[in-house]
Amino acid sequence: MGAKINGPGSENPKMARANPVRKILIVDDESESAILRAVRRRLEEEGWEATVVQPETGYSLGEEFEAAALWSIEQSLPDAVLLDVRFGEHRDDQFRGLRILGELVDRWPKLPILMFTQYSQGQDRETAVRGSLQWDSPVDFIDKLASPDEVVLRLRRLIGVSPEAIPIGNHILVDVSTRQVFVGVGEGRTEALEIQGMKFEIFRELAASWYRSPGELVAFSRLERYSEGENPRASLRVRIREIKDAIGKAMNMRFGPSELILNVRDQGYRLVPPKS
Amino acid sequence: MSKVLTSVKIAGAVIALGGIVCLILAPLIGGSLSDSLWALEPLTYIGAALLVAGLGVALASYARAEQQARSADGSNGHQQGNSWSETTLQYFQLFDHDLGRPLRRIAGKERELRAVLQAAPGEADAGVVDLLDEIERQTPNFRLMMSNIQVLIQLESPDIEESLQPVEPSEIVRRIADLYTAVAAEAGKEITWWSEPTEMGLVYANSNAIEHIVTNLVDNAVRYATTHVEVKLTNNPSHFFVRVWDDGPGIGSQYVQHLFDRGWTPEVVRREEKSSSGLGLFIARSLARQLGGDLTVETDDNSDGDHHTAFLLSLPSNLSAQPNGFR
């Protein structure tokens, strides 16, 4: 038995230089639909390699997909799987994806699986979620109408690996491995030299939180670890100001109070990517 | 109880059948035993009596069953009982799936068109981009409306019970914030969320219900906020709380009492066309109370001051009642 794996395998060169390419396997009988094409495009923008499982016979039968998915995972060992629930109109295939999920979790219990489905809520999800909790596996459900950005965010969290480089919008890149912050695009990219030591740690915390969930605030308590003196809150405020000034200088602009790093009163800070 | 009624119905039918048999046999026996007519008359009487009694028992059991079905549904105004709600839910899920298909096509084409426009920046008319944004904005609306109706069916079906599961509230809030961040950004608004403590851990709850309630609250907040929405997750030893705050114009005190009414929207007061079904907050509070919690609101509509609206959802953590079988 065998399966043909289709995938453009292209990646964003900017990201590919900095981060290892993550392989995402897509198991869906509607992989050529506009929704899936948009998701695949977004995965590629992320610098990930999206491959689509298609049964060799070309039938859209759940059984064929089940066999092809298992074979493909054995062959390509992806970092995560995007799996549909319903395969075709046949009654037996209505929840075929849950059966495939069971097989995958049984064989590869640590493999992150994102169920991409119309049935992202309700009893069917609960049945599968309960099962997955008992199996202690990284499984999540997302609605088929979810935006491609949401799909990428969920996959990031499921895969659970902090990237070596975090691009913030089009103009800022936080290189975690070399502890540098770059500003600008292409040949005009320069290092923001003032962001070193504690300031780099603060910015890295903000960037990592934004990478996991764009709206997530980083509490003062977490950031004050990187502050010194009798008044760590005041010291933190100064460092945040310095970070904004350094990046603003490199971008030839000045960030206002609600730009780049937002202060939520008495709670903490949050990153807001500059508008390009 | 229904088993007893079924037995009574069967007994009634058997008695009535016995009566009919006796009535049929009476003339036959009478004809063959002409010199024993004394036996004919009692048999006819017994048969007639049995028929009447059997029909009576059967009718009474049917009437009782009907009465029981009505009393079971009375509080919710339903016409039928358990099977009705299950069937409705199944039909609705099918309906949801079939409606979702053309919508997925529309959303997919919209995203393809957006990608084409991004590949050629500057060439697209701003109006076209606005139209695409509008289609994208309506997608979460559709998801929420479908979800609202499903939950409403379940809410009003007393026999559908959802068990407690281990749930990470921060993960639910994170998902909802992710869903609405892009929607809010398109409208020039910001969503910020956080949890105190940062690692809240697991509670035992109904994750579908929490997701549903908080989605409704965030959807409302994004709709009415001026620029900012904040979602804060906190806890105490027995409960966890989700506070959804927005810096919108606030709600007049005369309207607050109607906020959780079924079908009420601000447009009702202004006699304008409703922009939503007005079910969201009604369902949210009903669900919260069904789960042993509550949903309250605090608002300030002072145009000179710090106008805002904050909904506070409180739900029990059920940490002492964790079900078996979960880690």
| Dihedral (CA of A263, A265, A266, A267) sign | negative
Burial of A197 (0-12, 13-18, 19+ CB in 10 A): exposed
Contact list in B for residue A205 (CB cut-off 8 A) is none
Give residues 246 to 275 of A whose Cβ lies within 8 Å of B. 258, 262, 264, 267-268, 270, 272
pTM: 0.74
Partner-chain contact A121 B107, CB within 8 Å: no
- B129: pLDDT strictly greater than 90: no
Has the ipTM of the complex gone over 0.90?
A: no
The residues, any chain, with a CB within 8 Å of residue A142's CB and separated by 6 or more, are A114, A115, A116, A117, A120, A150, A151, A154
- B179 with A221: Cβ contact below 8 A: no
Q: Tell me how many domains chain A contains.
A: 2
pLDDT surpassing 60 at residue B271:
yes
Confidence bin at A6 (pLDDT 50/70/90): very low
Banded model confidence at residue B116, pLDDT cuts 50, 70, 90: confident
Segment B99-127 shows an average pLDDT of: 82
| Interchain contact B147–A (C-beta under 8 A) | yes
The residue among A36, A114, A137, A145 with the most chain B CBs within 10 A of its CB, best to mutate, is A145
Is B303 within a domain? yes
Cβ burial B29-66 (10 Å sphere, 16+ → b, else e):
bbeeeeeeeeebeebbeebeebbeebeebbeebeebbe
Residue A4: its pLDDT value, please? 38
Q: Are residues B188 and B293 in the same domain?
A: yes
- Domain co-membership, A137 together with A177: no
Residues from chain B contacting residue A150 (CB–CB below 8 Å)? 178-179, 182
Pair A127, A226 in one domain: no
Alpha carbon of residue B227 to chain centroid:
31
Given a contact cutoff of 8 angstroms between Cβ atoms, the answer to whether A2 and A56 are in contact is yes
Q: What is the pLDDT of residue A11?
A: 35
Contact B211 A217 (CB under 8 A): no
CATH of the domain at B307: 3.30.565.10
Q: How confident is the model at residue B327 (pLDDT cuts 50, 70, 90)?
A: very low
Q: Are A109 and A202 found together in one domain?
A: no
Which residues in chain A have Cβ-Cβ distances shorter than 8 Å to B192?
215-217, 262, 264, 270
Tell me what pLDDT residue B162 has. Answer: 65
pLDDT score recorded for residue B325: 42
pLDDT in tens, B27-69: 666 555 555 555 556 667 777 777 777 778 777 777 776 666 5
Matching residue, tokens 């459900």: A141
Quick check: B104 and A217 CB within 8 A? no
Residue B109 within any structural domain of the chain: yes
Same domain, B150 and B173: no
Q: What is the tens place of the pLDDT at every residue in A100-151?
A: 888 898 899 889 999 887 765 656 556 555 555 555 678 888 888 888 999 9
Question: Hey, is the C-beta of B20 within 8 angstroms of any chain A C-beta?
Answer: no
Residue B238 confidence class, pLDDT cut points 50, 70, 90: very high
Identify the CATH number of the domain in which residue A37 sits: 3.40.50.2300
A85 or B313, which is more confident = B313
Instruction: Mark whether A19 and A128 lie in a shared domain.
Output: yes
**For residue A223, which of A198, A245, A241 has the smallest C-alpha distance?**
A198
Residue after which a domain boundary falls, among B22, B43, B74: B74
- Higher pLDDT: B188 or B272? It is B188
Q: Which residues of A touch B193 (CB under 8 A)?
A: 213, 215-217
Number of domains in chain B: 3
Q: Are B217 and A251 in contact (CB under 8 A)?
A: no
Q: Are B218 and B243 contained in the same domain?
A: yes
Which B positions 80-139 lie with beta carbon below 8 A of chain A? Answer: 93, 96-97, 100, 103-105, 107-109, 111-112, 115, 136, 139
Those residues whose C-beta lies under 8 Å from the C-beta of residue B211, and which sit 6 or more positions away, are A121, B172, B175, B176
Domain termination residue (choose one: A128, A159, A190):
A159
Contacts of A145 in chain B (CB under 8 A): 100, 103-104, 107, 139-140, 142-143
CA-to-CA dists, residue A94 to A59, A82, A204, angstroms: 15, 17, 44
Per-chain mean pLDDT for chain A: 82
Question: Which one is predicted more confidently, B215 or B275?
Answer: B215
Considering only residues A136 and A8, tell me which one the structure prediction assigns the higher pLDDT: A136
Interface of A with B in 99-118 (CB under 8 A): 118
Give the pLDDT band (50/70/90) at residue A16. very low
Mean pLDDT over A228-254 rounds to 90
Answer yes or no: is pLDDT of A72 > 60: yes
Burial (CB < 10 A; 0-12, 13-18, 19+), residue A86, is buried
Is B194 in Cβ contact with A37 (below 8 Å)? no
Residues 40-59 of A with CB under 8 A from B: 41
Q: In what order do the strands lie in the sheet with A172-175?
A: A165-168, A172-175, A180-183, A190-191
Amino acid at site B247? D
pLDDT exceeds cutoff 80 at A18: no
Q: Smallest Cβ distance to B194: which of A130, A219, A262? A: A219
Domain limit, last residue, from B74, B104, B119? B74
Q: What is d(CA B249, CA B251) in angstroms, rounded to the nearest whole number?
A: 7
Percent of chain B with pLDDT over 90: 24
Q: In this model, does residue A15 exceed pLDDT 50?
A: no
Structural domain including B117 reads 82-155
A170 reaches B (C-beta below 8 A): no
Give yes or no: residues A179 and A63 share one domain. no
Average pLDDT, chain B: 79
Residue B94: the pLDDT is: 72
Distance (Å) of CA B149 to CA B96, B110, B278? 10, 26, 12
Residue B193 forms contact with A (CB below 8 Å) = yes
Is the pLDDT reported for residue B77 higher than 50? no
Rounded distance, CA B225 to CA B227, Å?
6
Per-residue pLDDT at A233 exceeds 80:
yes
A36 and A149 in a common domain: yes
| pLDDT tens digits, one per residue of A25-69 | 999 888 888 889 999 999 998 889 999 987 776 555 778 888 888
Residue B80 pLDDT grade (very low, low, confident, very high; cuts 50, 70, 90): very low
Give the torsion sign (CA, B113, B114, B117, B123): positive
Judge whether B45 lies within some domain: yes
Say which residue, B43 or B11, is predicted with more confidence: B11
A173 and A204 share one domain: yes
H or E element at residue A168: strand A165-168
